[in-house]
Amino acid sequence: MSWQLASFVVVGLVLAVGWLAYERRRPSARMVAVVATLAAVAALGRDAFVALPDVKPITAMTLVVGYALGPLPGFTVGALGMLAANILLGQGPYTPWQMAAWGMVGLAGAALGWLSGRRLGRWQLALACAVAAIAAKEVMNVYTWTLGASHTPAAFLVVAGAALPFDLTDMVASLLFGLAFAAELSRLLARVRARMHVTWEAADGPDGLVGTPAREGGPSLGAACSLVALLLAGMLLLGPRAAGAGVDRVRAGAVQRSARALPAVGSSSVAAASQARLGVAREIAFLASAQNGDGGFGGARGQSSSELYSAWAAMGLAAAGRDPLSLRRDGHSVLDALRGEASSLNGAGDLERTILALRACGASVHSLVGGDPVAELLRSRGSDGSFGHLTNITAFAVFALRAAGYPARDPVVRAAGSWLAGQQNSDGGFGFGTRGGGSDVDDTAAAVQGLEDAGMGRDAIVTRAAAFLVRSQNPDGGYPQEKGGASNAQSTAWAIQGLLAAGRRVGAVRREGSRSPLEYLKSLIAPDGSVRYSRTGAQTPVWVTAQALTALAGRPFPIAPARRRAAAPVGRARAALPATVETAARRQPIQRALRGRARASAAAPAGPGIQGAGVHGLDGLAQAMGALVGALLAPMVR
């Protein structure tokens, strides 16, 4: 076997092992998009400086990607960046060598991040870029050496000496590029990693809600194999030449690890579903901190109270096992707020939600200022058994009637269930209105729970609706409001409740190896105890957190009251309460009477930004490069 053929076999092995490891890792679609974008930017950066030989930013970019995101993204950006750049600059037998060399730069960056804990400063990163440039150039010198007639050490020194001016130029250029943007790009990618990588650990308890933990992080076998193959290449071509690179240990967002058994309350068929519930002290503490002086809740801390948010907060607290009346601000509870807002109720949706909240508080559902809400709700019932001739309103009417003590066999409840069953679309889903309208996740999940509460939970209709929910799951494990849209916390919470009502194991619902819906929901929990609406949205955190609690606790509707506890006055300072969750945001604005789909136009926070301080000297260039990369990455991270 010739030197050229042997070297190409080893280089091909390095590339194959690296990419095979990346494929076996099953990265999320969004992370694949981010890596592809970074590879494209690296290639464009190399092509942009074509007029300046050996002055290229690709080395600095590749090393920082490996440093911030880990070995496999770093390897892929370096290898694909070289391949894509050569489409313009020209392909040749050197291309696989370049791909392997700069893939190694990504692996070296990952090793540097692992060893340093990703705490390097600007100059340290820049020096690492310079060293990586020299190392990559030496690999290319090996390629040149294999083309010659003599393969002795002396011949290699001749090749390296001839290339020294060009190698030093690349080293200095990489140092300057590192000074210009390495620190900023590292911080930007750290935010991407924190938002898209989550480490899940097994919880003690049934797996119906918890699911099989998906492990991310830890030593990468693919990266190690790549290093071994590269080491063999060095031994084959140069003798004892060492090449080392470490592995990335991704440390992503913290996850709650304890699970406690909790009897399911509500629909009878859900009793056999997963009985585990997560520790939700942080979420409860967040809601407590958002309570207003009148006892009610607004969409976020400091916002004025409304029946919509107060009702959801009461249901969320009760689902989590906390008596809503045990939280008081200035002597007022959420029940006081609900009764004070009775005059503002408008339509069947408001009545249903209030009845459910009164039940969650353990109060009489018949006593409100101005009349009996149950009697008022029954007056909106149509001759066909529906309420408002809408699937959404009718499903919640079933919840409200069951909360008011009506049994599943009651003619009113059964008629509403029968009407609901007739509104199923051909795809198995349900829409907000009647049959023929577009199906969506939220209303399908609500209809499934309504059918279960009406004693029709084992019908083929529920089976088809559950199949629709399973098909609607996104690759990130979450659920969109409408199939094909972006995942959000509230639609995911609805899906979890619907799947539980249909008797499905939520932990087993995984689209092509994705995380489970519950794991997606947990990934949105913020340090302050709120639950984000989505990766980029944090609107109406009180609403979203409260609704997420119903799913985290595994409680379909209606929510039964929690065990009574002594009332705990809540003052302005709530330091004693543990707080930790993420602000949960409300979905796309659709003001729907029942769930109060108040369409607060959710101003999604901007994507990853640059966290630089002063702008002096090279920082100007750093901001320009960061702005370019940020603009390209923002649509992927949203």
Predicted confidence (pLDDT) per residue in 409-465, tens digit: 999 999 999 999 999 999 999 999 999 888 999 999 999 999 999 998 777 999 999
Please tell me the least confidently modeled range out of 104-108, 284-288, 333-337, 605-609: 605-609
**Domains in the chain with CATH codes:** 3-254+617-637 (1.10.1760.20), 259-570 (1.50.10.20)
Q: Please, what is the Cα angle at 145 between 143 and 150, to 5 degrees?
A: 145
Contact 234, 243 (CB under 8 A): yes
Rounded to a whole number of angstroms, the distance between the first and last alpha carbons of the chain is 51
Please tell me the least confidently modeled range out of 100-104, 390-394, 445-449: 100-104
pTM for the model: 0.51
Helix (H, G, I), strand (E, B) or coil at 428: coil
Contact 233, 14 (CB under 8 A): yes
Contact 349, 369 (CB under 8 A): no
Helix (H, G, I), strand (E, B) or coil at 569: strand
Q: Please report the pLDDT score of residue 266 as a whole number.
A: 39
List Cβ neighbours of 238 (8 Å cut-off, separation of 6 or more): 142, 153, 156
Task: Give the pLDDT band of residue 529 (cuts 50, 70, 90).
Answer: very high
Q: How many Å apart are CA 129 and CA 125, to the nearest integer?
A: 6
Task: Give the pLDDT band of residue 357 (cuts 50, 70, 90).
Answer: very high
Q: How many Å apart are CA 70 and CA 561, to the nearest integer?
A: 47
Mean pLDDT of the chain: 76
Contact 364, 358 (CB under 8 A): yes
Q: Which residues pair with 531 in a beta bridge?
A: 525
Q: How far is CA 284 from CA 241, 260, 490, in A?
A: 58, 16, 17
Please tell me the least confidently modeled range out of 361-370, 496-505, 614-623: 614-623
Report whether the peptide linkage leading into residue 558 is cis, meaning its omega lies within 30 degrees of zero: yes
User: In the predicted model, is pLDDT for residue 22 greater than 90?
Assistant: no
pLDDT in tens, 258-309: 333 333 333 333 333 333 345 788 999 999 999 999 999 999 999 999 999 9
Cα atoms in the Cβ-side hemisphere of radius 13 Å centred on 400: 32
Task: Give the pLDDT band of residue 214 (cuts 50, 70, 90).
Answer: very low
Q: What is residue 239's DSSP assignment?
A: S
Tokens of residue 22, six digits: 């990346």
Q: Please report the pLDDT score of residue 486 as a whole number.
A: 93
Q: Please report the pLDDT score of residue 533 as a whole number.
A: 94
Exposed/middle/buried for residue 366 (C-beta within 10 Å: 0-12, 13-18, 19+): middle
Task: Give the pLDDT band of residue 193 (cuts 50, 70, 90).
Answer: low
Q: Please report the pLDDT score of residue 316 as a whole number.
A: 96
Q: How many Å apart are CA 24 and CA 635, to the nearest integer?
A: 25
DSSP string, 467-536: HHHHHT--TTS-B-SSTTS--BHHHHHHHHHHHHHTT--GGG--STT---HHHHHHHTB-TTS-B-SSSS
Tokens of residue 136, six digits: 């990559």
Quick one: which of 469, 580, 554 has its CA closest to 272?
554
Quick one: which of 317, 312, 68 has its CA closest to 184?
68
Task: Give the pLDDT band of residue 7 (cuts 50, 70, 90).
Answer: low
The residue-averaged pLDDT of 313-330 equals 94
The residue-averaged pLDDT of 174-202 equals 74
Tokens of residue 430, six digits: 């349900």
Tokens of residue 383, six digits: 């001759």
Q: Please report the pLDDT score of residue 428 as a whole number.
A: 95
Contact 308, 538 (CB under 8 A): no
Tokens of residue 206, six digits: 């049934």
DSSP string, 243-298: ----------B-----EEE----SSGGGTTS--EEE--HHHHHHHHHTB-TTS-B-
Q: How many Å apart are CA 441 and CA 429, to the nearest integer?
A: 8
Task: Give the pLDDT band of residue 601 (cuts 50, 70, 90).
Answer: very low
Q: Please report the pLDDT score of residue 203 as a whole number.
A: 44
